Chains A and B, each alone.
Chain A
Amino acid sequence: MMPDDPSTFEIELEGTLRDIGIPPRPEILDRIAAEMNKDEPDFNELAHIISADVALSASLIKITNSSFFGFRSRVHSVNEALMVLGLDVASRAVAGIVLRRIFPESPRLERFWDASARIARLSGWLAQRVTPNTLRPDEAYTFGLFRDCGIPVMFARYPGYLGILAEANHEADKSFTTVEDDHLPTNHAIVGCLMAQNWWLTEETCLSIRYHHEVSIIETPTIPPTMNSRCLVAVAQLAEYLLQQQTGLSHTREWDKLGSASLRLLNLAEEDMAQLVAEAKAVIEAAE
């Protein structure tokens, strides 16, 4: 779950976050939504809105050109990026870029976001590698970024969350969110789902966030969530595992709980893992 060692999250981080309000939704998303909601959205106007933010524009172009987004073309302007991605995907890409901006800067939080970004990239790659024609890489990428966005909010609101997080990470039987529920009135999956919904992410992404610690969701075909949602959860879980294999840091029991179900859903066998670990290493290195 926590891609980083929870013990490195220092207590003062809780304080930093608690005092600072987290904006419910960045204004840029509202402006994009307003344009998208028109009968005939104006690409130029949207490009104009995004281009006003230089860092955002640069990140959007970079993401569009990245291999994990699944597009082979190279774009050079926001306008081209919008055209290649389409408005829906572009809007979600922007959401992913601004996600970490809304939280206060802190070295510890940076590490959390960096790990999320790696999981996102690996998820985008895995979508192409193990679920071609099922998952869209951009969707898997966005899910990877947002999957744990509830965690910083929980830190901000619930003193003592650090200890609960450590307990959940070490829990061998109960699901991660059950441990949170044992101590708190809500959990990071529900918070993340609500936040994603409020950021206008797709229904599948929201539901996948909501259920990403529940093995029954991966194993049992029910609607909703859709097959896509279940694959999203499995792919991101695999991405997290591959990352942990690469960094040698493994502080969670999530793969023990969700790993075999994820592999079954993705039609992978244990024997495939060595190859995937090696390929994932190259993917991470290429992106950094």
Chain B
Amino acid sequence: MIWKSNFSMAVCQGDCNGVLSHKNMSSNDIAAMPPEPKQNQITSVIAIDLATGFFERSGSFSLIAELAKYVTRESTLALLWIDLDRFKQINDSLGHYGGDTVIAQIALRLHSKTGEFAEWCRMAGDEYLCILPVSDPGQAHQLAFELLRVIEAPLPVGDMLLRPSASIGVAVLEVGEDPFVCLERADRAMSTAKRAGGARVVISGDEPVPGRLGIVLAREELDMENKLHVALENGGLSLHYQPIVSFDGRIEAVEALMRCEVGGSNIPPGKFIPIAEKTGLISRLGDWSLLAGASFANRLDKAGYRTKVAVNVSRAQLASRDFAKALHAALACANVNPELIELELTESLFMDISTVVQSNLRAALDAGLGLAIDDFGTGYSCLANLKDIPATKIKLDRAFVIVLPHDRRAFAVVKALTQLGSELGMTVVAEGVEEQEQLDSLREAGVHAIQGYFHARPMPEEALLQWLQLRSAK
């Protein structure tokens, strides 16, 4: 095998056969070794990486600088920065020798793909750089996707078969651009690909890039979208439950609140919910929480607590033609009495006159579920419409509660709303209760139940069950 270099500046330093002579190397491994560099036509001396046969990082800069001199409008350079995904795991599992074999075999694949049309450098342990002369940026993009495919083919290492993948950043050198700025762009594009979950190509200048659902997002949003996908596929979602306690001491319900944890860190709902809404992932998260909440209601029921579980439902879910089917699917999977489930919706959804939303609300009621109006009193409250809303519960927004007991006007509003709700046969709940004084004031106003830190913070399933047990014991 002959290493053919367009620019033929390479000289092999040290023992080029050093890796080949490794005593544990099998014949397969030897066949898989990259070609040896050619040792002639030297215009300068660039060190060769022994494992790959590619130029070493130290030499890559002078190589790029040299090649950039010949760039014209018709013919320029594309830099493709390739970083293997999860390489640390491969190294940890196969040892450094195994890791080197992977690096070498991938190098061979990469080189076979480009042949003599590109120069290759090894930039770091698991990072390669392809320097490709192009007349059209599209050629570089095309090659990047082909290289990704080549990398992703199953890779035998010893008697194992791995499935490598890579993050590839592509930057095309513009006329007059400092080649090192271009190199940095390729590196940044690669990092964007990596942050988006790897196994993809990102073209520098194209960021923000489309997410997995094809919606264009800013970088941070893309990062968040990817985290949500990871959470959905790796078990990073959970529900925490906050009790709603009646003034007679009964547990009126528990509200399910979604938590998202990826890579050991919690993502606040304020960050992931907007992205979920923007990408449409909210429907999947919503369906998931319906089933998770319904399953917990079943578990509570079996443990002897006939407590309702209130699940938040988004506009996207309720506007979907499949909502009723998904709801029934959740009830079927969880095998739960529908009366133990309550859907929490914002006021505006009740006011939505679209036939889909209306028929979904009707389906939920017909199935026996309760409907609660969340954040009541701050949004599109229209008392005239209240008579038509089929809700079974209203939850007064925390804005009314935090000013109690001193704000007598707020107190008057709370009292009036409570009376109105009661007359309409609804349970009235106040949210965000933290102080005894607030509680006393709400009791005086006739509110039926309260939710807030005063009684308990949201907690995971097990903690809530313990909390309920302790409460029963008292």
Could you list which residues of chain A lie within 8 angstroms of chain B, going by C-beta atoms?
21-22, 24-25, 29-30, 32-34, 36-39, 43, 70-74, 80, 83-84, 86, 88, 91, 133, 136, 150, 153-154, 156-158, 181, 184-187, 190-191, 193-195, 197-198, 200-203, 223-224
Contacts and interface: CB of A to CB of B under 8 A. Distances in A.
B291 interface: yes
A209 to B, nearest CB: 11
Contact of A157 (B159, B324, B335): B335
22 contacts: A21-B335, A24-B292, A37-B235, A37-B261, A39-B264, A72-B161, A73-B160, A136-B163, A185-B324, A185-B325, A186-B328, A190-B329, A191-B329, A194-B333, A197-B291, A198-B291, A198-B295, A200-B233, A200-B235, A203-B212, A203-B232, A203-B284
B236 interface: yes
Contacts of B156: 72-73
A43 B93 contact: yes
Given A36-B234, A191-B332, A195-B333, A185 B291 contact: no
A73 B161 contact: yes
A223 B214 contact: yes
A64 to B, nearest CB: 10
A152 to B, nearest CB: 11
Q: How large is the interface on B (under 10, 10 to 19, 20 to 34, 35 or more residues)?
A: 35 or more
Contact of B328 (A29, A83, A185, A197): A185
Given A33-B236, A73-B160, 5 more contacts: A43-B92, A73-B161, A186-B328, A194-B330, A198-B291
A199 to B, nearest CB: 9
B325 to A, nearest CB: 4
B363 interface: yes
Contacts of A84: 160-162
A126 B398 CA distance: 57
A174 B20 CA distance: 63
B321 to A, nearest CB: 11
A47 B107 CA distance: 32
Nearest to B163: A86
Nearest to A207: B284
Contacts of A86: 86, 163
Contacts of A24: 291-292, 295, 333-334
Scoring A43, A80, A133, A185 by chain B CB atoms within 10 A of each residue's CB, the highest score goes to A185
A211 to B, nearest CB: 11
B151 to A, nearest CB: 12
A37 B234 contact: yes
B333 to A, nearest CB: 6
B443 interface: no
A197 B291 CA distance: 10
B213 interface: yes
Contacts of A30: 235
A9 B264 CA distance: 46
A244 B291 CA distance: 34
Nearest to A17: B335
Contacts of A25: 295
Contacts, number: 124
Contacts of B212: 203
Secondary structure of the B contact surface, majority rule:
helix
B153 interface: yes
B298 interface: yes
Given A154-B332, A157-B335, A191-B332, A71 B233 contact: no
B149 interface: yes
Given A37-B264, A38-B264, A84-B160, A197 B284 contact: yes
A34 B161 contact: no
A74 B292 CA distance: 38
Interface string B126-168: 0000000000000000000000010001101001111100000
B420 interface: no
B263 A38 contact: yes
A71 B229 CA distance: 26
B147 to A, nearest CB: 14
Given A24-B333, A191-B332, A197 B232 contact: yes
Given A84-B161, A185-B328, A203 B229 contact: yes
B12 interface: no
A197 B288 CA distance: 7
Nearest to A191: B329
B343 to A, nearest CB: 16
A70 B156 CA distance: 12
* Top 5 A-B residue pairs of the complex, sorted by shortest distance between their CB atoms: A33-B235, A186-B328, A24-B295, A185-B328, A157-B332
Contacts of B154: 70-71
B302 to A, nearest CB: 8
Contacts of B334: 24
B84 to A, nearest CB: 14
Contacts of A197: 232, 284, 287-288, 291
Given A86-B163, A190-B326, A22 B261 contact: no
A37 B262 CA distance: 6
Contacts of B160: 73, 80, 83-84
A30 B212 CA distance: 25
A34 B213 contact: no
B64 interface: no
Contacts of A224: 213
A157 B336 CA distance: 10
A136 B291 CA distance: 29
A21 B298 contact: yes
Interface in B84-103: 86, 92-94
B207 interface: no
Nearest to B367: A185
